[in-house]
Structure 1
């Protein structure tokens, strides 16, 4: 398959792709930490090696590669999916309607980072090949889905620019919502608090005091500070959360060993310790400008400890390191009162059946209007002084 002089191939394992070639597309500026740690070779390969994706998981790797004159210019983390779990921009209702109409919705194609609701480039291109690379990979994805009589193909948590480009190519552009904290040049946490209304400021101070009074200590570890003991504790937390949310955890224990071996400099692990035992924790990944909150869990319940470990400690770290944003994962209107404001997220969709595609397009159009209204309303209830008409004077 080719487009002009571009050759498209697929590989079912990153072991068959040179790490430097992949990362030349995934992190073209060679930033450390990378702009998006989740599309790096190390992260995606950790999913493979650990058995978190592959046989028996419903996530079957089929990485797309585009070459021009034999040189790799663009790649995409594509998976053949046999369910819709672990995606966070969900199409369960589409699947149900499709199958009630007599079709087979699964398998489908998905360009995404498994289990990771974080916005980032999904069409990973070397510098200078962005337009050409996305076009070639998009056309290839659609062609593969069509040739193999698959119901659909999806690109989730792509950038807005990618979404606009994809829509111009005929894909359906869907919008959803997350809550992000934005660093407005704060010097410390108190500086951030001073931007809030007095009532919200007092509530957060009260909440932090309550959380930090749980009877133990809160630790923040990164890089070589992280030990296997820390991962053992966090695995217990993750299992508890996974069992309650999904029935079984998405990630295996070996995944965290791989992250320790190859990505611990890209990780911030926040752990709460009481009576010599770790009882709760939150895992974050460090991007060039963003701290990505990913997983939380606990073996003891303490008031507000979840908010402290997941949200406030993340803000502390972001301010200290000069990061521009904290993305605290999917969903959660409760984040609003804690300084995390609603933002749009983007995805792209192709459905082979023309009639069903038209119905989904109508749904997406109506959904986008509702999301726009929700963001406007939620933002008006944000905790910042300017949103509540309060002056910017300190208490």
Structure 2
């Protein structure tokens, strides 16, 4: 296949309509608007260790056939597929692990399309990229949180290693309302969830859901202050800049949902969500003071309630989370793929992933056995 492969150092070099036309669905994280907002706001860039290096494939007539969002990485922060041990092993062996090339959505452990467009064009792109990694001073190519189509394309390709992960997602089983969901739980768990919600209500806290286009800049200031505070309490800097929230609200307000928590009309906490036609994605949260059980209410129960009322089929509340199990979030597998240039590193990681994979499967099964739903029969 005769194609032309180009690298974009800024997504603004390609019209949003052209990029979005390659997307298989309307998931917000892969949209041009989301990725460009990260760049325009300074949340990603060479300064932050996320240097944009997006690749597009055109045919000889100039028609766009495929694309891949990618970044040259100088660290492993904000990826949620943890390869620090690989980097440390390289350091001890005198091998450079950074920089590496990463195809992913920054700071967003959300599965989805990563290789966009026609399969043959994507295959040609992968072939060219992997053959030139070493010559470009890159140790590896990683593709994180893939969907089924990307998994199918990568399965069986020489040199590619598959990594398994586990998250917890809530699924709407046709519930009429939150009480209907509670009725599906075992009695003891149902009482625990109801008690937690009552504890929050007893502190005089109420909630308001807002769409992205309805928030004022002053309210976005509050959202960012809460978000940044979750990092400040751990002595860390936030990944996102204040400008990101305004940029995103301008570019794709229809995909944004924010729940504001107020005590006696005073805002005290928030949770930031994105959504598409089927799924609610919980992304960021923060509060300005400590309130008993407020995190569970704002980030989980409000999200479940909203998903039911909007007829959404799934609620992805982000990475981590045994604490999600008792709240009805079920284990799901995630996949990432890794192409490592150094043969010794590749052999060592292959052995590690074989062992890790079995552990992840056992972990997911144990998590499934601990779900709080009533047993039928």
Same fold (TM over 0.5): yes
Q: Is the 8 A contact 2:185 2:372 kept in 1?
A: yes
How far is 1:246 from its partner? Answer: 6.8
Q: Deviations over 1:154-177 (max 9, x none)?
A: 001111442243131121000011
Q: Which residue of 1 aligns with 2:325?
A: 336
Tell me how far 1:52 sits from its aligned partner. Answer: 0.4
2:272 paired with 1:275: no
**Mapping for residues 193-232 of structure 1, pairs under 5 Å:** 193-232=182-221
2:70 corresponds to 1:78: yes
**1:245 CA drift (Å):** 4.7
Q: CA deviation at 1:263?
A: 1.8
Does 2:75 align with 1:57?
no
* 2:104 aligned with 1:112: yes
Asked whether the 8 Å contact 2:185–2:374 carries over to 1, the reply is: yes
Give yes or no for contact 2:184–2:373 (8 Å, CA) kept in 1: yes
Structure 1 equivalent of residue 354 of structure 2: 365
- The answer to whether the 8 A contact 1:123-1:133 is kept is no
1:45 to 8, 31, 36: 36
Alpha carbons 1:291, 1:323 under 8 Å: kept: yes
Moved segments of 4+, more than 6 Å: none
- Matching residue of 2:14: 17
After superposition, give the CA deviation of every residue in 1:81-101 in whole Å (9 maximum; x if it has no partner).
000000001100100001110
2:122, 2:236 → 1: CA distance?
Answer: 36
Correspondence list, 1:241-390, <5 A = 241-245=230-234, 247-386=236-375
Deviates more, 1:88-97 or 1:189-198: 189-198
Give CA deviations for 1:82-128 in whole Å, capped at 9, x if unaligned: 00000001100100001110011100000000000111111121xxx
The Cα RMSD (Å) is 1.4
Aligned to 2:85: 93
* Number of equivalenced pairs: 375
Stretches of structure 1 that go unaligned for 5 or more consecutive residues are none
Q: 2 CA distance for matches of 1:245 and 1:166?
A: 38
Q: Distance in 1 between matches of 2:76 and 2:304?
A: 32
Higher mean displacement: 347-356 or 161-170? 161-170
How far apart, CA to CA, are the structure 2 residues paired with 1:378 and 1:17? 43
**Selected match of 1:153 from 113, 138, 141:** 141
Give the TM-score taking structure 2 as reference length: 0.96
Kindly indicate whether the alpha-carbon contact (under 8 Å) linking 1:62 and 1:79 is maintained by their aligned counterparts in 2.
yes
